[in-house]
Amino acid sequence: MEDILKYLDLEGAVKLCQELVRIPSPVGKEKKVAVHLAEVLRKTGLDEVTLIEGEKDRPNVLARYRGTGGGHSLLFYGHIDSESPGVREEWTMDPYGGEIKDGKVYGRASKDMRAGISGFVKAAEAMIRRGVRPKGDLVLAFCVDEEVAGPNGIGYLVKNGHVKADAAIYGETYRLGDIMRADSGFLWLRITSIGVPAHCQLRTDEKKSVNAVEKMAKLILKLTALHLPFKPHPLFAGMYPGITAGTTIATRENQLINAVPDRCTATFDVRLLPGMDTDEVRAIIQRAARELESEDGEAKFTIQEISRRGPTETPEDHPIIQTIARNFEKVTGRKARVVGHEMTSDEYFLRNAGIMGVHFGPGNWAGHKPDEHIEIEQIHIVAKVYALCAHDYLFA
Ligand SMILES: [Zn+2]
């Protein structure tokens, strides 16, 4: 069965990673790398390679190696958008050079996530070169819009029925050997406090105005003291839900210094553990605001939802988890660790579409930073694990 590894081009995986790093793909400008990847996949011998746009000029790459039928299908998922390099002087290496130094490939998006994508492509190539079609389909989706949590990447593909699979591997983590089985969620709210305006003046007992900022301050204290109900989750030991208040905060645009502010708008970021219901959390926050209104007598709030991503989780007994864990140990002699993901990701779209997946891939904390890099050894390891997993899962 390790047979598949004989067809795996490890050196090619590193070369492909370098090649992809050399094609910049900041958010909104992913087309060049998408077109290049589609060309690579065609040359690799995938059966169907298409570019699908959820937004004009931002194509997603979709490819398939067709199985003979009757088996489980597997999705290899990666995102192709990336952050800009930021301040050039903070880099000691060329952000788009794809250079190798001390056993690492350097450059923007090298870790996040050209390395994982290269591993996926070479794993697919190994299956094709081996020449025996598996039962299930291998699907590869390399998408835009992940970095900004937007809907035009994998969200668009699953919504429109382009991608279906029984399991998914999302090719990046923060530590090699981690299998991230669950994502936390978020809820973003914009709350406006409505007061009564007046010119600022000496205080008297006669009430002429209501300061919207003072009422917002009271609400912030009340909301941040809330204990949102949750069940402790084994993958998120020591972590609990929380509200970050006032991530942005403003009075009216042309507010005068000498006028009582009658509007104060603040945004709130709420983080949720798997098992929590986003609607219920929203209702708790709404109730707290109503409570403050009646206690205070003058406070008035409107609550608007900006965005949400509920927490998601792949069942702990899903076969893809064991498949990865077994093959990671086979390749490295080390045990994989099943963990939770403190943030959200495109797993939100996948899991909500019934495509149960986990993050597994090259990992470090160098993404989004100057001198982003990935260890060559990690590229080799994940390419091997991906090839073995595809083999096990698709032939089962
Ligand atoms: Zn990423």
Query: Is 334 found in the same domain as 295?
Result: no
| Mean predicted confidence (pLDDT) in 155-168 | 97
| Same domain assignment for residues 193 and 177 | no
Contact in structure between 85 and 108 (CB atoms under 8 Å): yes
Check whether residue 15 and residue 157 sit in a common domain: yes
22 with 163, same domain: the answer is yes
How remote is the CA of residue 111 from the centroid of ligand 1, in Å?
8
C-alpha 324 to ligand 1 mean position (Å): 20
Ligand 1 centroid distance, CA of 83 (Å): 9
Q: Decide which of 309, 342, 358 is a domain's last residue.
A: 309
If asked whether residues 13 and 46 sit together in one domain, one would say yes
Q: Verify that 296 and 215 share a domain, yes or no.
A: yes
pLDDT at residue number 2: 58
| Gap from CA of 334 to ligand 1 centroid (Å) | 24
Cβ-based burial of 154 (10 A; exposed 0-12, middle 13-18, buried ≥19):
buried
Please tell me the predicted confidence (pLDDT) of residue 349.
97
CATH (domain of 215): 3.30.70.360
What is the tens place of the pLDDT at every residue in 170-191? Answer: 999 999 999 999 999 999 999 9
Cα 78 to middle of ligand 1, angstroms: 8
Select from 228, 225, 123, 239 the least CA-distant residue to 183.
Answer: 239
Residues 245 and 391 occupy one common structural domain? no
Of all residues in the chain, what percent are helix, strand and coil, respectively (each to 5)?
35, 25, 40
Number of domains in the chain: 2
Residues 67 and 132 placed together within one structural domain of the fold: yes
For 246-299, write each residue's pLDDT tens digit: 999 999 999 999 999 999 999 999 999 999 999 999 999 999 999 999 999 999
Inform me whether the pLDDT recorded for 1 exceeds 60.
no
Neighbour order of strands in the sheet with 373-375: 100-101, 104-106, 373-375
pLDDT bracket for residue 206 (50, 70, 90): confident
345 CA distance to ligand 1 middle (Å): 8
Residue where a domain terminates, one of 309, 330, 364: 309
Partnered with residue 331 across adjacent β-strands are none
170 C-alpha to ligand 1 centroid (Å): 9
- 80: CA distance to ligand 1 center in Å? 8
pLDDT of residue 122: 98
- pLDDT tens profile 212-250: 999 999 999 999 999 999 999 999 999 999 999 999 999
Question: What would the mean pLDDT of 186-201 be, rounded to a whole number?
Answer: 96
CA of 88 to the centre of ligand 1 (A): 21
At 207, is the pLDDT very low, low, confident or very high (cuts 50, 70, 90)?
confident
**Ligand 1 centre from 335 Cα, in Å?**
24
Burial 264-275 (b: 16+ CB within 10 A, else e): bbbbbbbbbbbe
Ligand 1 centre to CA of 312 (Å) is 17
183 C-alpha vs ligand 1 centroid, how far in Å? 14
Q: Are residues 157 and 229 in the same domain?
A: no
Q: What's the average model confidence in pLDDT over 376-392?
A: 98
Q: Put residue 84 in one of left, alpha, beta given phi > 0 → left and psi -120 to 50 → alpha.
A: beta
Ligand 1 centroid to residue 246 C-alpha, Å:
27
| Enclosing domain of residue 375 | 2-183+312-395
Q: Look at residue 396 in the predicted model and tell me its pLDDT.
A: 87
* Span 39-54, average pLDDT: 97
Between the CA of 361 and the centroid of ligand 1 the distance, in Å, is 11
CA geometry: angle at 337 spanning 149 and 98, to 5°?
55
Tokens representing residue 72 in the block? 């489980």
Which of 278, 309, 340 terminates a domain? The answer is: 309
Please tell me the distance between residue 112's alpha carbon and the centre of ligand 1 in angstroms.
Answer: 4
Contact 147, 83 (CB under 8 A): yes
Do 130 and 267 lie in one domain? The reply is no
- Distance in Å, CA 225 to ligand 1 centroid: 33
Amino acid letter for position 290: R
Q: Which amino acid is at 343?
A: M
Residue 295 CA to ligand 1 center (angstroms) comes to 45
How far is the centre of ligand 1, averaged over its atoms, from the C-alpha of 306 (Å)? Answer: 23
Tell me what percent of the residues of the chain surpass a pLDDT of 90: 96
pLDDT tens digit sequence for 107-159: 999 999 999 999 999 999 999 999 999 999 999 999 999 999 899 999 999 99
- What's the CA-to-centroid distance between 100 and ligand 1, angstroms? 21
Task: Look at residue 280 in the predicted model and tell me its pLDDT.
Answer: 97
Q: How far is the CA of 147 from the centre of ligand 1 (A)?
A: 7
Q: Which CATH number do you get for residue 7?
A: 3.40.630.10
Q: What is the whole-number distance in angstroms between the Cα of residue 372 and the centre of ligand 1?
A: 12
**CB-based contact 158:353 (threshold 8 Å):** yes
Rounded to the nearest angstrom, the distance between the alpha carbon of 231 and the centre of ligand 1 is: 29
Q: Are residues 162 and 57 in the same domain?
A: yes
Residues 212 and 324 reside in one and the same domain: no
The answer to whether the beta carbons of residues 355 and 159 sit under 8 Å apart is no
